[in-house]
Chain A
Amino acid sequence: MSNEIENLLGRMPLRKPPASLDDRVIGRRRRRRILAWSVASGAVAAAAAAVVVAVLLTGNDGNMVARSPNPPAVSNAPAERVAQAPSPKPLRLERNWAAVSYEGVVAPDEGAPLMKFRRRTLGHVQMIDQARGRQMEMTVPGEEVILIKAPVD
């Protein structure tokens, strides 16, 4: 009898979760992560720009190290090695672009209509090692589709 009841229960059509629930649970989290990522990227880019400005203002004669808030540790190395000007640290420049385009309204099988947006991103990272005279660049494209519940009049 219990098996028969379980079989019957399994055939009963349940009320489906609306599509808007996915947006509320997953979509918002992803948008929040993108926002955090954008803020973090912006902060990194601003920090990198500040470093570049500092390098340009101080020149590349090693004086910047002397003005650094973190003085180099005392070394037991021979005097002639200590006298050498320390090499500037490699620089990392990071820039990010993003563009959002609206692609109309989609109607899922169930639930409210959703507005579809496509967000394209482009991240550009540049590393410059002045001491070795080397430079590296990397471009990372990204794309995502964002669905937002359409307002109903």
Chain B
Amino acid sequence: MQQVIERIYWEHRQGLYTLALAITRRPDRAEDAVQDAFTRLWGSKARPEGDLVPYVFACVRNAAIDQMRRQDPAITGAESISIYNGLPASPEDSAITAEEHRALRQAVDALPETQREAVVMKAYAGLTFEQMAQALGEPLQTVASRYRRALERLGQHMTKGNGDVSHEQ
């Protein structure tokens, strides 16, 4: 099982870290959360059956929430960090303008936490709705509709003058 978990780490390290960062909003806390989660996984006697990817994501999510509970609320807002690195998209990618980039980044960062988690797990970690439902412990339909609502919200934000994407393709 430990080899499988290590493989999942290497395959999903970006998604796991982004999920932790989306919850904690601080890179150091996100690192701590991922490390805490894997420390627990390495030491765990549990032998869950089936797909372990949602299980690992659930562990990282729980560890990130634990980090949030532990952190001082006074500094949370001041040091809040985006999941994006702040750089523009690649120069050859002319389909996205700097304005669209900025607007979308702000829109994602402004999403309610549950919707932001859904966007990270689906769009960045590449999980299926079934895997997301397992990781979040919620019905598949709930998770799928939450993701759709998040996309709608982002779409509304982008068409309200913050970055019209209607010219895309």
Contact check: which of B38, B93, B158 meets A25 at CB < 8 Å? Answer: B38
Interface residues of B (CB under 8 A from A): 2, 6, 9, 13-14, 16-18, 21, 27, 31, 34-35, 38, 42, 81-85, 87-90, 93, 95-96, 100-101, 104-105, 108, 119, 123-124, 148, 151-152, 154-155, 158, 165-166, 168-169
The residues in A between 11 and 30 inclusive whose CB is less than 8 angstroms from any CB of B are 11-18, 20-22, 24-26, 29
Please tell me if A6 contacts chain B, counting CB pairs below 8 Å.
Answer: yes
B151 in contact with A2 (CB, 8 Å): yes
Please tell me if A152 contacts chain B, counting CB pairs below 8 Å.
Answer: no
Main secondary structure of the interface of B (DSSP, over half): helix
B104 in contact with A15 (CB, 8 Å): no
Please give the distance in Å from A3's CB to the nearest CB on chain B.
Answer: 9
Please tell me if A4 contacts chain B, counting CB pairs below 8 Å.
Answer: yes
**Size of interface on A: residues with Cβ below 8 Å to B:** 25
Residues of A within 8 A of B6 (CB): 26, 29
Please tell me if A74 contacts chain B, counting CB pairs below 8 Å.
Answer: no
A2 in contact with B84 (CB, 8 Å): no
Please tell me if A131 contacts chain B, counting CB pairs below 8 Å.
Answer: no
Residues of B within 8 A of A12 (CB): 84, 89, 101, 104-105, 108
Residues of B within 8 A of A9 (CB): 104, 108, 119, 123-124, 154
Contact check: which of B13, B84, B158 meets A15 at CB < 8 Å? Answer: B84
